[in-house]
Amino acid sequence: MWRQVAERISKRIADGTYPPGSRVPGIVELSAEFGIAASTAQKALAHLRETGEVRTELGLGTFVSDSK
């Protein structure tokens, strides 16, 4: 399931829904939107960080990377 969520976020980044530098939904927001557990949302965001699509700033949130 986390892969499906990560793929949906990745598509939103690619189509400009979340442009470079913009904030992406956090764990609580993703959990509510997709009806998933917080741990599943966390795995999806971790995967996107590993691929370099997003970056996390402690205390601020997760943002689309400026360059993929």
- Given this model, what pLDDT does residue 3 score? 97
> Is the per-residue pLDDT at 66 higher than 80?
yes
Listed in sequence order, the DSSP H helices in 1-68 are 2-14, 27-34, 38-50
Q: How far apart are the first and last CA of the chain?
A: 24
Q: What is the dihedral of CA 31, 13, 57, 37, to 10 degrees?
A: 10
Percent of the chain with pLDDT over 70: 97
Average pLDDT over residues 26-55: 97
9-35 pLDDT, tens digit each: 999 999 999 999 999 999 999 999 999
Average pLDDT over residues 39-60: 96
Amino acid code (one letter) for 61: G
